[in-house]
């Protein structure tokens, strides 16, 4: 259910951003930057988060707090969106909704997200080489790459972009070899 909620409301905010972009180029990016800053503020202010999620506080009081805190500090679109979220009792899903919007905007702007896992930390030159190879093969205009160190890989690397995984790690090769050896019947 939470996925459906974040998708439904996230799609709505994404559409608002695209509509705003039509009349004012760069407005979608500005709205997303505002959403990113809002998310950072909400994550760092636990008291506000607890207040907005508290079941014993009336919705009208939450809307008053929202108005006092955000009405003049965020764009009218963002304030209207936040008001709707609180009005529909979906504040608990706000982080998931905003994360969905960020992913949707990256997809729209053809920005890929890659996770590269290696046994040891790559040098800057190696990271640049990996970036170059990925840009040659990936259908994106740019890539956001997260480099992770996982010593249990032993060597090689595992690359994940969306639902595609390329596993060229030594650990994976050893596991494959073990499976093949176990299938051999001695006789």
Cα–Cα distance measured from residue 166 to residue 16, given in angstroms and rounded to the nearest whole number: 36
Percent of the chain whose predicted confidence (pLDDT) is above 70: 97
**The pTM is what?**
0.74
* pLDDT level of residue 182 (50, 70, 90 thresholds): confident
Residue 1 pLDDT class (50, 70, 90 cuts): low
- What does the DSSP assignment read for 4-70? HHHHHHHHHHHHHHHHHHHHSTTHHHHHHHHHHHHHHHHHH-HHHHHHHH-TTS-HHHHHHHHHHHH
pLDDT in tens, 38-73: 888 888 999 998 999 999 999 999 999 999 999 999
DSSP letters of 122-166?
Answer: PPHHHHHHHHHHHHHHSS-SEEEEEEEE-GGG-SSEEEEETTEEE
pLDDT value, residue 181: 83
* pLDDT at residue number 186: 63
Distance, CA of 117 to CA of 157 (rounded, Å): 5
CA distance 30 to 51: 28
pLDDT for 150 equals 94
Domain layout of the chain by residue ranges:
2-107, 110-183
Q: How far is Cα 51 from Cα 73, in angstroms, rounded to an integer?
A: 19
Is CATH 3.40.30 the right assignment for the domain spanning 110-183? yes
Average pLDDT across the chain, whole number = 90
The hierarchical CATH code for the domain 2-107 is: 1.10.520.20
pLDDT over 60 (residue 187):
no
Tell me the average pLDDT across 129-156: 93
């Amino acid at each position: 259910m939470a996925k459906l909620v974040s998708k439904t409301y996230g799609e709505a905010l994404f559409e608002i951003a695209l509509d705003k972009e039509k009349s004012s180029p760069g407005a979608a990016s500005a709205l997303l930057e505002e959403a990113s800053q809002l998310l950072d503020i909400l994550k760092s202010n636990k008291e506000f988060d607890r207040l907005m999620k508290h079941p014993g506080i009336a919705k009208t009081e939450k809307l008053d707090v929202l108005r006092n805190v955000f009405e003049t500090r965020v764009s009218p679109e963002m304030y209207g969106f936040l008001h709707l979220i609180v009005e529909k009792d979906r504040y608990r899903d706000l982080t998931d909704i905003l994360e969905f919007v960020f992913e949707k905007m990256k997809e729209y702007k053809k920005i890929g997200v890659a996770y590269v896992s290696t046994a040891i930390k790559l040098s800057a030159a190696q990271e640049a080489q990996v970036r170059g190879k990925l840009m040659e093969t990936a259908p994106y205009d740019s890539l956001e790459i997260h480099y992770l160190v996982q010593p249990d890989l032993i060597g090689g690397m595992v690359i994940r972009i969306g639902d595609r995984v390329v596993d060229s790690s030594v650990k994976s090769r050893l596991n494959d070899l073990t499976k093949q050896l176990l299938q051999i019947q001695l006789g």
